[in-house]
Amino acid sequence: MLQQDAGNACTYFKRRTTGIISNVLGDYYITQHMRTYILRASGMRLGKGVRIRAPMHVERPDRLTIGESSFINREVYIDNTAAPVHIGKNVIIGFRTSITTSSHDPRSRDMEGRAITIGDDVWIGACATILPGIKIGDGAVVAGGAVITKDVEPYTMVGGVPARPIKSLRDDQ
């Protein structure tokens, strides 16, 4: 029991530390290199060359993986308490994007979580919302303000509320 309490305390400390670093200490007070080091120490899995602008809010750093050379802009909110989030390589996530893995049935209020996967070379515009269980394919583009309620096919541009395909981004079409 004592060991479990110590583990819970450690997890709590990591979350709070990450929150302070990501939300309170802005880009002017802490270098990108130092921010990356601290976020990795909190349990985030970050690839080489990842850049994260502050403030950013992540509920569970230990359930977030970001591939190399990806960029997360300011005020991105990632609620991954219920399931993990995987962000691929060379992904750009715009200002104030919201990514959430938890949902509930309004009648029962029972929480459920479904993982979110964002492929490689994806661009997500500012203020987009990505709902639980979504898979965004490689090379996709999500327009600013879009609400992603269904999976996005690779090399497809989507936009709107709810998001719908706008056009194919494949070279052969």
Higher pLDDT, 10 or 99: 99
CB 43 within 8 Å of CB 59: no
Count the domains in the chain. Answer: 1
| HSE-up (13 A, CA, CB side) for residue 173 | 6
Domain-embedded: residue 102: yes
Cis peptide bond prior to 55, omega within 30° of 0: yes
CATH number at residue 110: 2.160.10.10
Which pLDDT score, from 0 to 100, does residue 117 have? 98
Residue-range definition of the domain harbouring residue 33:
2-168
pTM: 0.83
Which pLDDT score, from 0 to 100, does residue 39 have? 81
Residues 67-89 have pLDDT tens digits of 999 999 999 999 998 999 999 99
As annotated, the active-site residues are 104
Domain-embedded: residue 173: no
Domain-embedded: residue 125: yes
| Paired strand residues for 152 | 136
Candidates 129, 119, 115, 131; CA nearest to 155 is 119
Residues 4-63 have pLDDT tens digits of 555 566 666 666 666 666 555 666 667 777 777 778 877 889 999 999 988 888 888 889
Domain-embedded: residue 52: yes
Which pLDDT score, from 0 to 100, does residue 4 have? 52
